[in-house]
């Protein structure tokens, strides 16, 4: 070989020849490699075509796909196209290449891609090529060459069969309609909807009368897509088109078709669209409601009227529309506390939305003056709304009350919110409730609203807060707290209760120990009764008597056994406490022990015994026990005096009167008798008035005793005495009425309403002296209509200058009933006394009083009362 190359070097051979030799060798090698691979490719492909049976064909296809998957086979598209011409389209369809060709039509196809799909892929892909030709004008030549080759009629039928409702622009193939209009109209009768769809899309380009008739029939086509496209594109004269669109809006059963009709109406026929004076059925109304225009005031009005309907089928689309447009939120937010009728209307209207599960408007709204919060709270105490809505309401309400206290104008906002959280709130809502409770630990105005509304279903959330309250000796609502804890789960309460009761006295405030005992009693656990009875001495006698009603709920046999054992014990405090609760049991078997206790060595036991006899109704024995008024111990004498005064007969009352007048009796006994007379029978009032009039040293005690007499009968008797009394005694009785305060006012007002002429001057004088008249005048400015009505009514009964001075300010009250009270009062001024009142009011320093007085005089003239 070396010699061979040397021979070349020795000659005159050009250098490029020497360089071309290896290049030639490489090219020949590459040619051989390509030829070999081509032969192998063709051989493997041929095996698929020439396979004798299906298993062999499948095996050949599997092996071919291992070497040439469709993704790789795309690179051989030209070669496969050539093989398809030789062996048929099977070679591209079975190898998956046809699918790849079809996929390429959806993004930047070329003419070759269109040709391959039309010639070698399944005919069902013809419409894909049609769509590609419509989107890419450069490929249309190839498409129309294929149409010319196959024939328009065949192509149209093929496209109709391969269409599946895709959107397309038929304008580029308008020639189909020009040349094959009859055929296309014939296709509108095909059983398959997609063929009809293809035909109608083409016919929309035609304006011939025959075509218009076909399109009218298509408006009632069974398939909704066809009705939809015809609704969107159908054109005729204005009246006919409007009639078609309005009919579609009201009567087509498919939402998309109705939506297309409404869209065209809004765009082309807004001047004709009106819902006024339209008599629509429930179904028609519902279809209109689904497609209302948020910007249309008329549509909003129609939706509100539908929301007020009794038919929930109409209410749902109306409520959904009104919520979407913000109308429901606006209705909620515009309320004010001085318009209760508006609040009621809003609640009724918005509740109808909640009934059809529309509640989004409750998730965000302004607090305003509290009225929106009140509306939301009323709504959420019902079955509608979500947990999220309740939590939002709580946050807003608790923030609203962060700088104010509940009063008659806003208390319902707070209470309804608590009720919504307690009844329907989830874990988050109850946590917010507990946080609010914790914040209000020392605020009675809030606690009296919070505690009664605590939910029983969430003890684990509220008990830590309540137990903290229990250990706070200054907690203001202790009795309510005791009631709640007394009904809680004993497993969670008992450890804390016994811990308090077992602690040394110095370590716990007395009020906390009493609360713990009351809770233990309310738990009503028979195995705890012994401890309850032994702990009674920590209570005051009055508290023990009230607590006795709880003891009666324990099994009677168990109580009797334990009570008799303790009555025989040496501890006098326990014996006195047991005796004090026995009357509540109504067990007469203990009367003997009580009688013997009247002579007990311990004064507390004697006091308990004399009071117990009162509880058992032993009046005869009580009257016999007046000797105990001379007991060596003062508190025994005092207790005896109070008991006899409360339920003694006439003879006993005479004894008590003599004791009061006895100059040798001690003051403490006299004070006890006087205090007892404060709860005695009717005869006691006369005795107390005598004390008030003649015994200055006991005047204060007599006032307190009389102040306790607040029944209508007692007040009537006091007023009778007041009416007939000397001026000096009247001055002494006035403080009694003042001391009775608000407790006596309802009874005094009831007597005033009876319009007894002889009583009225004295009643009015009492009310003026106690400040009620001034307060009633202030209530004329209250936001609450009921408060203003009551105040105006009562002032109209008084016939005095101060009363009328307040009434003239109410002459132009927005509420009719308040104005009626003013007019009724004015009618009484036809007397000379009434004229004098009005003349004085004309010169009042207050300009408003003068102004309204002139109005009142004009009113009198108009009533013909001159």
In angstroms and rounded to an integer, the radius of gyration of the C-alpha atoms of the chain is: 51
User: Sign of dihedral through CA atoms 257, 261, 262, 264?
Assistant: positive
- What percent of the chain lies above the pLDDT cut of 90? 22
What is the spatial distance between Cα 216 and Cα 438, in angstroms, rounded to a whole number?
73
User: What's the pLDDT score for residue 782?
Assistant: 74
User: What's the pLDDT score for residue 229?
Assistant: 92
What is the 8-class DSSP label of residue 830?
A: G
Task: Kindly tell me if the per-residue pLDDT of 212 is higher than 70.
Answer: yes
Task: Kindly tell me if the per-residue pLDDT of 866 is higher than 50.
Answer: no
User: What's the pLDDT score for residue 518?
Assistant: 92
User: What's the pLDDT score for residue 52?
Assistant: 62
User: Sign of dihedral through CA atoms 262, 265, 268, 273?
Assistant: negative
User: What's the pLDDT score for residue 849?
Assistant: 60
- What percent of the chain lies above the pLDDT cut of 70? 86
Q: Stretch 477-501: mean pLDDT, rounded? A: 89
Task: Kindly tell me if the per-residue pLDDT of 392 is higher than 90.
Answer: yes
Lowest mean pLDDT among 182-196, 216-230, 658-672, 809-823: 809-823
Among the residues of 770-846, which ranges form H helices? Answer: 772-779, 785-796, 801-807, 816-827, 832-842
Q: Stretch 321-336: mean pLDDT, rounded? A: 92
What is the spatial distance between Cα 139 and Cα 127, in angstroms, rounded to a whole number?
14
Average pLDDT, the chain: 82
Residue range 501-555, pLDDT digits in tens: 888 766 667 889 889 999 999 999 999 999 999 888 888 877 887 788 888 888 8
Residue 659 near residue 641, CB atoms below 8 Å: yes
Residue 199 near residue 184, CB atoms below 8 Å: yes
The crossing angle, in degrees rounded to 10, of helices 760-769 and 712-724 is 100
DSSP codes, 576-623:
HHHHHHHHHHT-GGGHHHHHHHTT-SSHHHHHHHHHHHHHTT-HHHHH
Q: Stretch 442-449: mean pLDDT, rounded? A: 92
User: What's the pLDDT score for residue 865?
Assistant: 44
User: What's the pLDDT score for residue 801?
Assistant: 67
Contacts within 8 Å (CB) and 24+ apart, 556-562: 556/585, 556/587, 558/526, 558/529, 559/529, 559/585, 560/587, 560/589, 562/529, 562/530, 562/533
Dihedral, 609, 614, 617, 621 alpha carbons, nearest 10: 70
Task: Kindly tell me if the per-residue pLDDT of 291 is higher than 50.
Answer: yes
What is the spatial distance between Cα 806 and Cα 787, in angstroms, rounded to a whole number?
14
What is the 8-class DSSP label of residue 817?
A: H
User: What's the pLDDT score for residue 236?
Assistant: 83
Residue range 640-650, pLDDT digits in tens: 777 777 766 67
Residue range 215-265, pLDDT digits in tens: 888 899 999 999 999 999 888 888 899 999 999 999 999 999 999 999 999
Determine how many CB atoms are found less than 10 A away from the CB of residue 161. Answer: 18
User: What's the pLDDT score for residue 750?
Assistant: 76
Q: Stretch 27-55: mean pLDDT, rounded? A: 74
Give the closest residue to 608 by CA, choosing from 532, 525, 701, 540: 540
Give the closest residue to 133 by CA, choosing from 148, 144, 121, 122: 144
Which carries the bigger pLDDT value, residue 201 or residue 834?
A: 201
The crossing angle, in degrees rounded to 10, of helices 727-740 and 699-707 is 50
Residue range 662-682, pLDDT digits in tens: 887 777 777 877 877 776 666
Give the closest residue to 384 by CA, choosing from 333, 423, 339, 327: 423
Which carries the bigger pLDDT value, residue 708 or residue 469?
A: 469
Residues in contact with 453: Cβ distance below 8 Å, sequence separation at least 6, in sequence order: 415, 418, 419, 422
Q: Of 572-581, 619-628, 636-645, where does the model show the most confidence?
A: 572-581
Residue range 740-759, pLDDT digits in tens: 767 777 777 777 777 666 66
Task: Kindly tell me if the per-residue pLDDT of 619 is higher than 80.
Answer: no
Determine how many CB atoms are found less than 10 A away from the CB of residue 688. Answer: 26
Residue 260 near residue 228, CB atoms below 8 Å: yes
Confidence of residue 22 (pLDDT cuts 50, 70, 90): confident
Produce one character per residue of 646-664: b if its CB has 16 or more CB atoms within 10 Å, e if not.
Answer: bbbeeebbebbbebbeeee
Residues in contact with 692: Cβ distance below 8 Å, sequence separation at least 6, in sequence order: 699, 702, 703, 706, 729, 732, 733, 736
Task: Kindly tell me if the per-residue pLDDT of 10 is higher than 60.
Answer: no
């Amino acid at each position: 070989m070396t010699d061979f190359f040397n021979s070349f070097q020795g000659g005159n051979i050009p250098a490029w020849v020497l360089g071309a030799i290896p290049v030639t060798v490489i090219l020949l090698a590459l040619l051989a490699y390509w030829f070999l691979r081509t032969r192998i490719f063709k051989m493997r492909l041929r095996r698929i075509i020439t396979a004798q049976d299906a298993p062999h064909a499948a095996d050949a296809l599997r092996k071919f796909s291992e070497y040439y998957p469709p993704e790789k086979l795309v690179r051989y598209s030209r070669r496969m196209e050539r093989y398809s011409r030789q062996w048929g389209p099977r070679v591209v369809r079975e190898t998956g290449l046809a699918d790849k060709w079809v996929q390429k039509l959806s993004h930047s196809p070329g003419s070759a891609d269109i040709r391959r799909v039309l010639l070698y892929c399944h005919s069902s892909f013809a419409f894909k090529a049609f769509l590609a030709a419509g989107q890419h004008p450069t490929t249309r030549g190839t498409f129309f060459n294929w149409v010319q080759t196959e024939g328009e009629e065949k192509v149209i039928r093929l496209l109709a069969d391969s269409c599946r409702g895709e959107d397309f622009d038929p304008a580029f193939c308008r020639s189909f309609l020009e040349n094959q209009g009859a055929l296309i109209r014939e296709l509108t009768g095909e059983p398959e909807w997609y063929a009809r769809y293809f035909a109608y899309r083409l016919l929309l380009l035609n304006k011939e009368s025959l075509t218009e008739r076909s399109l009218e029939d298509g408006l009632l086509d069974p398939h909704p897509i066809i009705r939809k496209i015809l609704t969107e594109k159908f054109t005729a004269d204005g009246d006919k088109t409007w009639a078609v669109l309005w009919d579609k809006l009201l009567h087509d059963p498919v939402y998309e078709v109705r939506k297309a009709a409404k869209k065209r109406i809004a765009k082309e026929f807004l001047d004709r669209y009106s819902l006024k004076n339209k008599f629509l059925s429930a179904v028609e109304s519902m279809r209109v409601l689904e497609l209302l225009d948020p910007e249309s005031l008329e549509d909003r009005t129609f939706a509100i009227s539908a929301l007020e309907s009794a038919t929930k089928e109409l209410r749902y689309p109306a409520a959904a529309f009104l919520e979407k447009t913000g109308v429901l939120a606006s209705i909620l937010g515009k309320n004010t506390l001085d318009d209760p009728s508006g609040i009621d209307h809003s609640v009724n209207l918005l509740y109808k939305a909640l009934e059809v599960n529309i509640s989004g408007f409750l998730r965000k709204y302004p607090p305003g003056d509290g009225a929106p919060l009140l509306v939301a709270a009323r709504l959420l105490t019902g079955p509608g709304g979500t947990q999220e809505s309740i939590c939002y309401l709580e946050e807003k309400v608790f923030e609203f009350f962060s700088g104010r206290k509940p009063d008659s104008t806003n208390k319902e906002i707070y209470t309804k919110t608590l009720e919504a959280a307690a009844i329907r709130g989830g874990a988050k809502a109850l946590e917010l409730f507990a946080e609010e409770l914790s914040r209000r630990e020392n605020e009675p105005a809030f606690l009296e609203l919070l505690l009664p509304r605590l939910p029983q279903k969430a003890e684990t959330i509220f008990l830590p807060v309540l137990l903290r309250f229990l250990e706070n000796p200054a907690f203001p609502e202790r009795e309510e707290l005791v009631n709640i804890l007394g009904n809680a789960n004993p497993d969670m309460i008992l450890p804390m209760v016994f811990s308090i009761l077992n602690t040394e006295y110095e370590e716990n405030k007395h009020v906390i120990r009493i609360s713990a005992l009351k809770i233990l009693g309310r738990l009503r656990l028979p195995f705890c009764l012994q401890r309850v009875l032994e702990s009674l001495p920590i209570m005051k006698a009055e508290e023990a008597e009230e607590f006795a009603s709880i003891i009666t709920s324990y099994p009677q046999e168990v109580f009797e056994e334990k009570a008799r054992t303790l009555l025989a014990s040496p501890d006098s405090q326990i014996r006195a406490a047991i005796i004090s609760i026995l009357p509540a049991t109504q067990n007469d078997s203990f009367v003997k022990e009580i009688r013997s206790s009247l002579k007990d060595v311990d004064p507390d036991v004697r006091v308990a015994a004399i009071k117990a006899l009162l509880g058992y109704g032993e009046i005869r024995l009580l009257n016999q026990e007046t000797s105990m008024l001379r007991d060596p111990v003062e508190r025994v004498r005092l207790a005896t005096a109070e008991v006899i005064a409360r339920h003694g007969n006439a003879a006993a009352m005479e004894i008590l009167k003599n004791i009061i007048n006895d100059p040798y009796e001690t003051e403490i006994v006299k004070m006890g008798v006087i205090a007892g007379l404060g709860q005695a029978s009717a005869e006691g009032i006369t005795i107390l008035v005598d004390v008030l009039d003649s015994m200055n040293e006991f005047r204060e005690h007599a006032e307190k005793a009389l102040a306790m007499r607040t029944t209508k009968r007692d007040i009537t008797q006091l007023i009778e005495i007041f009416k007939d009394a000397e001026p000096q005694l009247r001055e002494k009785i006035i403080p009694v009425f003042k001391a009775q305060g608000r407790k006596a006012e309802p009874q005094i007002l009831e007597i005033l309403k009876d319009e007894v002429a002889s009583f009225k001057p004295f009643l009015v004088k009492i009310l003026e002296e106690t400040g009620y008249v001034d307060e009633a005048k202030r209530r004329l400015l209250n936001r609450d209509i009921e408060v203003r009505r009551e105040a105006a009514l009562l002032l109209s009964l008084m016939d005095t200058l101060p009363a009328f001075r307040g009434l003239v300010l109410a002459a132009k009250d927005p509420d009719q009933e308040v104005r009626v009270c003013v007019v009724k009062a004015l009618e009484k001024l036809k007397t000379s006394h009434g004229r004098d009142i009005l003349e004085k009011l004309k010169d009042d320093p207050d300009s408003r009083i003068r102004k309204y007085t002139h109005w009142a005089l004009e009113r009198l003239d108009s009533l013909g009362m001159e």
